[in-house]
Amino acid sequence: MPFEKFATYREIKSQTEAWAQALDLIRTAQLPKAENYDQVVFTGCGSTYYLSLASAALYQELTGRVARAIPGGELLLNTKTILANQNILLAAISRSGTTTETVKAVEKFKADKLGDVLVISNNDEVLSQLANVNIVISKGQEESVAQTRSFASMYVAATGFAARMAGRNDLLDRMPSLPETGERIIHDFETAARQSGENLDFDRFYFLGSGIQYGLACEANLKMKEMTLTHSEPFHFLEFRHGPMSMVNQKAVVVGLVSESNFSHEKAVLNEMQALGGKTVALGEAGVDIAFHSRIPESVRGVLYLPIVQLMAFYRSLAKGLNPDRPNNLSAVIKLDL
C-alpha cells in the first residue's frame, strides 16, 4: 500500500520542516518579560489542551513562575474557579485559530482586562487577531483531522517560548538540531513503530509520562484513540501502579516516555509491567528501545517523543481497516453556537 496517499502519513513524515519554522519564529518574536506577570495560563482544546499541560509544566520548571493549563471550555464557562484578579499572560493555542471555546475564552479574558494574550497557531485567523503576540506556523497546517505535524510544530514554539521567557539562551541555542535529529529518529524507528502498531493481538495501550512529559503522554494516548478506536489511557509513571496496572496482561502495550532525571524510577515501572506480561516500549535519550541520542537538553527535546507514537497510531489505523485521515465522529475544527 502506498502510505503517501494518506495525508496523515505525509504530515508525520514532513513535520520537521514545521519544527524549523517554529524555531525561526519564536527566536525572532517580540516577547514580553516573565516578571511582568503573576502567572501564565495556557489554554486549548483537545490536543492543544494536552499541549498546554506540557507547556505549563515546562514554563514553570524553567522560569520558576506559576503556570497552569486550563481547557478552553473551562476557561470560558467557569472563569471564576480558575482566574483570580491578577496580571496574567494567557497563552492560547489552536491549530485552526477558530476553535469556538478558545476564541470565546480569549474574548472574555480581554473584555475583563485580566492581562495580555499570546497566540500560537498554524493559521492566521480570528484568534490571532486577538493577540498581543502572535506566532503562526504555517508549515504546520494539515489536511487530516488528527493533529500530528501541527501539534509538534506548536509544541516546539511553546518550548522555545518557555526557554526565552526564562532567559535560557543556552537552551535555545541547542534547539536548531531538533529537525535533523527528528528525521533520523523517524528513519531509524519507523519499522519498530509499524510492528507495534500493526499487531492486533494487543487491544489496549497505556502511555506513561511524568513532569514535562505527562502532557505529551496524554497527546500520544489521544492519537491512539482518535486514529485507531483502541482503548488507550495516559498516566503518570508512579501513579500507574495505583490501580491501573490491574489492566496489564499479554494484550497490553505500555509505552513509556522516559526521562533522564527520573530514569531509574520510570524504568522500574516498565520492568514491572513487563513482568506482568505486558509489552513495553520505552522512548528516551539513551538506554531504551527508541533511543534519541540527541545530546539536546531534556527540557527542550520533548518533541522527539512524538513522531514514533504518531506512526504507531497511523499503522494501527490501517491494520484495523480504518482511515487515519478521517477518524470516526470527528472534524478538524470544532465550532459551537455559544
Q: Is the pLDDT of residue 333 over 90?
A: no
pLDDT interval class at 79 (50, 70, 90): confident
Q: Enter the pTM of the model.
A: 0.95
Q: Is the pLDDT of residue 329 over 60?
A: no
For residue 72, what pLDDT is reported? 95
Report the SS3 class of residue 24: helix
Arithmetic mean of pLDDT, 229-246: 97
SS3 content of the chain, % helix, strand, coil (to 5): 50, 15, 30
Q: What is the pLDDT of residues 165-178, one digit of tens each?
A: 999 999 999 999 99
Q: Is the pLDDT of residue 106 over 60?
A: yes
pLDDT interval class at 83 (50, 70, 90): confident
Residue 33 grid cell: 518579560
In this structure, are strands 39-44 and 279-284 parallel, antiparallel, or unpaired? unpaired
pLDDT interval class at 63 (50, 70, 90): very high
* Sign of the CA dihedral running 99, 31, 74, 238: positive
Arithmetic mean of pLDDT, 222-247: 97
- Residues 33 and 305: their CA atoms lie apart, in Å, by 29
For residue 84, what pLDDT is reported? 73
Q: Is the pLDDT of residue 334 over 70?
A: no
pLDDT interval class at 197 (50, 70, 90): very high
Percentage with pLDDT > 70 across the chain = 96
- Residues 154 and 121: their CA atoms lie apart, in Å, by 7
Q: How far is CA 58 from CA 7, 8, 40, 119, 228, in A?
A: 30, 28, 12, 17, 29
For residue 327, what pLDDT is reported? 77
Q: What is the pLDDT of residues 259-315, one digit of tens each?
A: 999 999 999 999 999 999 999 999 999 999 999 999 999 999 999 999 999 999 999
Q: Look up residue 138 and give its DSSP letter.
A: G
Domains of the chain, each with CATH number or no CATH: 3-173 (3.40.50.10490), 177-319 (3.40.50.10490)
Q: What is the mean pLDDT of the chain?
A: 95
